[in-house]
Structure 1
Amino acid sequence: MSARLERLPWSRFQRSIFLVVATAWLFDSIDLGAITFLLSPISTEFHLSAAQAGLLGSASFAGMLTGAIAAGSLADRIGRQKVFQYSILIWGVASLALVFAWDFNSVASFRFLLGVGMGAEFPVAAALIAEFMPAKKRGRYAALLEGAWPVGFIAAGAIAYFMVPAWGWRGFFALQAVLALWALVIRRSVPESPRWLASRGLTIEADRVMTGIETAVAKASGSPLPDYDVVSVAAKTSEEPRGIRALFVPEYRRRTIMLWLVWFCILFGYYGLTTWIGKLLTDSGFDVVKSIGFILLMALWGIPGFISAAFLIEVIGRKYCLALYTVLSAAAAFFYGQAAGETQLMIYGSLLQFFFFGMWSSIYAFTPELFPTRARGIGVGTATAAGRLGALLGPIVVPLLLAAGGTSLVFSASAALFVLAAVIVLIALPETKHAVLEDISH
């Protein structure tokens, strides 16, 4: 099946798959960005302590950890398309429930449920991009997918900027529920992955879906499709381990554990910072509206950040691109923690967002390429779940670091975690640039 997919010319079909999957990243980034802007007004309405605010910031990450593992396993067992189609339902229902939240416990519970839906989307969306994009464009488009994050973060800030003063934080979640309904409709256009069908031994169904894709691409390109090597598409009817066991066979065991550590370090550091940036600014004397505008201006630098990574990832490779942006994120985080005055905060904060989004583009492009098709969903799911564990702990640990050493210690600790992640990437993970997915082993 890989040869039939790899020889397809680039067309409207692949672009449409990319755009539909990108909406998952966009909506999820809007929600994750929202807590940066809404934590302060929610804390004010419910009179939350610093510990409760930290728990609220972590609630959706706990849900994402659960959703990522469950959805990754389901995507490998029942298919990418089904999980992708219906994960948005949980996201939308939880968003609507938040409109009617009445106390801290209800907000935290609904944020957890929303996180389950959000976490379910990431492994299956990453698998779809990896399995539909050709090898020579896979890294670039997976990196461009991360462009939805700064756009979503900026959209979250813009919506919060205008909506919070007039409608409060509840109006934000009402809008998310409407977006979920629209997403459910457009996801119907995404077919099942022929690579996944073939990996399950469903050769007749894989051939049927692949023939439909070939017809659509030929029509879009307006020319006959090139031939492919029949021998190379012979199905591996496997008795190979599946599910979580597939991640711990000798050729994948070290890779799996090291990747989990990378995700844990990066998300612990990242969300420990971003979940609290808005509140740290208001605690430093900025009013809510000014702090939202300040964060929004810094987030604009994420756009050139992910564009630069999308270019570099096909030039210097996945692991070197990821290590580069992670080290530069560490440097920017350290200097942001030492900044004095608005000018320095703006300069280092803008650099922080630039390198952050380059880092995200790299890791999401890299991760699904490191696992075989039979275990790609659970591989991405467990890696992102390890990250969600870090994201869950980060906002909780931040108040302790603040008490021990102030803002400077918070940012220095995050910088140290980023450096550790970069070292692991360089030492322990293989390069996958331009390799056909089925050829990546060890």
Structure 2
Amino acid sequence: MSMPGLSTGTIAARLNRMPITRLHFRMIVALSLIFLFELGDLNTFSYATPGLIKYWNLSVSSVGVIVSASFFGMFLGAWLGGWFSDLVGRRKALIWSTAFYSIMSLVNAFTTDTTELATVRFLTGIGMQAMSVTGLTYISEMFPKDVRGRYLPESPRWLEIKGRSQEAEKILNDLETEVETYLGRSLPEMRDFEPVQQSAKVPVAELFSKELRKRTIVLSLAWIFVILGFYGFSAWVPTLLVQHGYSVVKSLNYSFIISLGAVPGALLAWPITDRFGRKQSLFVIMFIVAFCVIMYGLAFNETTVIIFGFLTAMLLQTQTALLYSYSPEIFPTRIRSVGTGFTGGLGRLGNVAGGLLVAAIFNAFGYAAVFIYVAAAFLMGGFLIGIFGERTAKRALETISK
């Protein structure tokens, strides 16, 4: 099967015409395991917090400091991890960031005081977010455009940008051979030819060029509000339930039931992401989340706490899956990972203050006020993406980057 030269923009066309193959499913399994342990770390810490308050005699403000340290690390990890991924490649960056995160996550268990825990949470955050940014960029580049919102050789798109055409050609030939063997026929004709600009360096300043400035600012602000809202709810639910008068055991039981909503919530993103588009879906879901959060904060009996807590946790995962798919799509390949890391990293940086802000709001105005603040954050995030965001569904990455 003869192929036009890779310099004419055929890599994207060759990837976009492919069906989902066994290789794609192997990538899904590998990345799913990575994200399983990332979410496990985040959720485990939120459940451990009531115990730390009781047995380490921590105040809510001290917990806020630890949470803030973690998010400052996540900010640095998102930015540095994105830069590293664009520099050395997705596969190598994913391996190194996963190894660093895993070691730091283990070290958490051996801390003995607040200062040690805050330091290790900072380092864990660096590895965690570097790993996430690299993995999400990899998914966006390796899956066909019609299904990439649903889901470890190197990315051919990245290899093309770096001028390593022979390596890209080998990976694509192997993938196409596997697909044609599986289908028992040739692949369809290529379309959507989009030549790309090669770049040996990582042009970080391009994020604020005339062409990309609006996207960078809108997505950065959206991530700030979404992260403030997401972790203002999920990271504080067990702690605030205890402070609201529930026992530690009852708080953890309720938090466990609420957290089960994450499973159907993440799966809900599957049927809607490519059917309705990330932009439109995010706009609607964030407004529904804000309503559920308000109802949760104003709930005065155990049944309504669990119902609206479950719905909030469910839709938060739907929203997160959509936003993680959306973010890498709006940047060109040469700065896709660093753009994703920079914008997502600013969201984590915003939550450095968020941890302290939740504690301050709770101490000054009480339990319900925290959730009014969380709901307002989601409303702002939904408004920014819904009104000013770029449409990405079923569009080639190279077309979006224009």
User: How far did residue 273 of structure 1 move?
Assistant: 2.1
Contact kept? 2:82, 2:338, Cα under 8 Å: yes
**Kept in 2: contact 1:8–1:225 (CA 8 A):** no
Cα distance in 1 between the residues matched to 2:190 and 2:179 = 19
2:163 partner SS: coil
Whether the aligned pair in 2 keeps the contact of 1:309 and 1:321 (CA below 8 Å) is no
Task: Name the amino acid aligned to 1:88.
Answer: T
Deviations 1:355-382 (A, max 9, x none): 2112112111111111111111001101
**Aligned match of 1:250 in 210, 219, 222?**
210
Distance 1:100 1:433 in 2: 45
* Partner of residue 162, structure 1: none
Classify the secondary structure of the residue corresponding to 2:146. Answer: helix
- Which AA in structure 1 matches 2:118? A
Match of 2:20 in 1: 10
Report percent identity of matched pairs: 32
**Alpha-carbon distance in 1 for matches of 2:370, 2:306:** 18
Structure 1 segment 76-95 matched on structure 2, within 5 A: 76-95=86-105
Contact 1:130 1:138 in 2 (8 A): yes
Hey, what does 1:202 align to over in structure 2? 164
For residues 125 and 334 of structure 2, what CA distance do their matches in structure 1 show? Answer: 25
Q: Distance in 2 between matches of 1:53 and 1:111?
A: 12
Distance across 1 between alignment mates of 2:238 and 2:377: 21
Q: 1:109 aligns with which of 100, 119, 122?
A: 119
TM-score for both structures, normalised by structure 1: 0.84
Q: Which residue identity lines up with residue 219 of structure 2 in the other structure? A: L
Partner Cα separation in structure 2 for residue 95 and residue 28 of structure 1: 9
2:3 paired residue number? none
Please give the secondary structure, in 2, of the residue aligned with 1:250.
coil
CA distance in 1, matches of 2:198, 2:313: 45
CA RMSD of aligned residues (A): 1.9
Return the offset for 1:228.
Answer: 4.4
- Residue matched to 1:29: 39
Q: Does 1:416 align with 2:376?
A: yes
Deviates more, 1:397-406 or 1:288-297: 288-297
Q: CA deviation at 1:307?
A: 2.4
- For the Cα contact (< 8 Å) 1:330–1:418, is it kept in 2? yes
Structure 2 Cα separation of the partners of residues 105 and 398 of structure 1:
20
Give a deviation string over 1:220-249, Cα, whole Å, max 9, x none: x1524415449937564359x843222122
Which residue of the partner structure matches residue 296 of structure 1?
Answer: 256
CA distance in 2, matches of 1:127, 1:286: 41
Indicate the residue corresponding to 1:440 in structure 2.
400
2:396 aligned partner, one-letter code = V
Cα distance, 1:294 vs structure 2: 1.0
Match of 1:129 among 139, 146, 153: 139
| Matched ranges for 1:330-341 at <5 A | 330-341=290-301
Structure 1 match to 2:4: none
CA contact (8 A) 1:270 1:391 kept: no
Shift of 1:291: 1.7
Distance 1:37 1:209, change over 3 A: same
Spell out structure 1 runs of 4+ moving beyond 3 A. 215-219, 227-231, 233-239
Once the two structures are superposed, the pairs formed by residues 275-354 of structure 1 within 5 Å of their partners are 275-354=235-314
The Cα of 1:302 is off from its aligned counterpart by 2.3
Q: Count residues with an aligned counterpart.
A: 392
Q: SS of the residue aligned with 1:251?
A: coil
Deviations 1:184-238, CA, capped at 9 Å, x for gaps: xxxxxx111001000111111211222233334344x152441544993756435
Within a 5 Å distance, the mapping from 1:24-103 to structure 2 comes to: 24-103=34-113
Q: Distance in 2 between matches of 1:119 and 1:432?
A: 23
Counterparts of 2:188 and 2:238, CA distance in 1 = 55
The question of 1:373 aligning with 2:326 is answered no
Counterpart amino acid of residue 427 in structure 1: I
Are 1:73 and 1:243, in contact at CA under 8 Å, matched by a contact in 2? no
CA 1:343 to 1:113, structure 2 compared with 1: closer, same or farther past 3 Å? same
Q: Which runs of 5+ in 1 are unaligned?
A: 142-189
- On the 8 A contact 2:83/2:202 being kept in 1, the answer is no
Task: Determine helix, strand or coil for the equivalent of 1:20.
Answer: helix
In the alignment, is the contact (CA less than 8 A) between 1:69 and 1:378 conserved in 2? yes
**Match of 1:176?**
none
User: Which residue matches 1:186?
Assistant: none
- SS of alignment partner, residue 313 of structure 1: helix
Distance 2:373 2:198 in 1: 47
Which amino acid in structure 1 is aligned with residue 342 of structure 2?
Answer: T
1:400 alignment counterpart: 360
Given the two structures, how large is their TM-score scaled by the length of structure 2?
0.93
Give the corresponding residue for 2:184: 223
Paired residues of 1:80 and 1:124 also in contact (CA < 8 A): yes
CA distance, structure 2, for counterparts of residue 251 and residue 225 of structure 1: 38
* C-alpha distance in structure 2 between counterparts of 1:242 and 1:97, whole Å: 33
Structure 2: stretches of 5+ with no match in the other structure:
1-10
Aligned with residue 232 of structure 1, among 193, 196, 212: 193
- 1:1-53 deviation line (CA, Å, top 9, x unaligned): 11121222221111111221122221111111111100121233322222211
Q: What is the CA distance between 1:416 and its match in structure 2?
A: 0.9
Alpha-carbon contact 2:198-2:334 (below 8 Å) kept = no
Give the conservation status (yes or no) of the 8 Å contact 2:13–2:192: no
SS in 1 for 2:275: coil
CA contact (8 A) 2:290 2:376 kept: yes
Matches within 5 A, 1:131-170: 131-141=141-151
Given residue 279 of structure 1, which amino acid in structure 2 is its aligned partner? T
Matched residue, 1:163:
none
Partners of 2:61 and 2:360 within 8 A in 1:
no
**Which residue number corresponds to residue 391 of structure 2?**
431
